[in-house]
Structures are given as C-alpha cells and as structure tokens.
C-alpha cells in the first residue's frame, strides 16, 4: 500500500497541474459568458468595484475547487482500478 501511495505522488502532482490549467481555461470562458468581458478583474484593479471583484473571485474558486476535486477523485479511482489499492 505504501508503494502505491508513493508511486501515486508524481501522478497526483501532474493531475494537479493539469486541473489548474483546465480550471483556468474554464473560468476564463465562464467569465466571458457572465460579464461579456474578456478579462476578469484583479483584486487591486481600481477601475472595478467590490461586487465585480468578489463575484469573479467566488466563481474562480468554485470552478477551481470543482475541477480539482473531480480530477483528484478520478485519479484515485483509476489508481484503485489499476492496483486494487486506494491511494492515501
């Protein structure tokens, strides 16, 4: 079991990077749909108001969390199917 968990670490790291890239791309598309603006506001953008900045941050966090959980769960499930052990 320890060997599977150790072997899963680089896979988990690669999946984490991939999920971050996917989440970023999904957020960019979602923000375009919601705001009709190509760029989401930065927290320090003086031209954008509090509501817009906070909505963008909440949407970004929700998408990132969803994608990360889905990718992590999928990776763990695939590992169990291949090895018979759930990576911990």
pLDDT at 39: 93
Note whether 6 and 88 are within 8 A (CB).
Answer: no
The pLDDT, as a whole number, for residue 6 is 84
Averaged pLDDT, 18-44: 95
Count the domains in the chain. 1
Give the alpha-carbon dihedral of 11, 14, 16, 21, to 10 degrees. Answer: -150
Q: Is residue 74 part of a domain?
A: yes
Coil, strand or helix: which one is 49?
Answer: coil
Query: Is residue 1 included in any domain, yes or no?
Result: no
Statement: residue 19 has pLDDT above 90: yes
Indicate whether 4 belongs to any domain. Answer: no
Please check whether residue 87 lies inside any domain of the structure: no
Q: What does the DSSP assignment read for 2-56?
A: HHHHHHHHHHHHHHHHHHHHHHHHHHHHHHHHHHS-SSPPPTT-TTS-HHHHHHH
Domain of 26, in residue numbers: 14-80
């Amino acid at each position: 079991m320890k060997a599977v968990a150790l072997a899963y670490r680089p896979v988990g790291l690669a999946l984490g990077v991939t999920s971050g890239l996917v989440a970023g791309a999904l957020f960019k598309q979602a923000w375009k749909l919601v705001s009709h603006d190509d760029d989401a506001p930065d927290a320090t953008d003086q031209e954008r108001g509090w509501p817009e900045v906070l909505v963008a941050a909440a949407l970004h966090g929700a998408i990132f969390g969803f994608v990360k959980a889905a990718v992590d769960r999928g990776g763990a499930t695939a590992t169990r199917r291949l090895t018979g052990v759930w990576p911990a």
